Amino acid sequence: MKLMIISASALALIATMANAEPARSNAPPPKDRYFDAAHGPNDPHSVWFAGDYIGRDPDPTIRAAMIRERHN
């Protein structure tokens, strides 16, 4: 008797999961951080920190300062 109840419960659970729809989100789709930046990650003058575009400057001293400011 217990086996029949467990089997029926398992069958109902499987049928419910098969008919379930994926959850929908109202959040906007994620932005492609490489697409939104003015210059790609391979630009030698671009400053990227932890995968985020910080800015761009040809002076290496300024680029280092940008990273330090972002890190703090």
Query: What are the residue ranges spanned by the domains of the chain?
Result: 31-72
Over the chain, what is the mean pLDDT?
A: 74
Contact 70, 49 (CB under 8 A): yes
For residue 48, count other CB atoms closer than 10 A to its CB: 19
The per-residue pLDDT for 48 is 83
The per-residue pLDDT for 59 is 93
Predicted TM-score of the model (pTM): 0.44
pLDDT tops 90 at residue 22:
no
The per-residue pLDDT for 64 is 92
Amino acid at 62: I
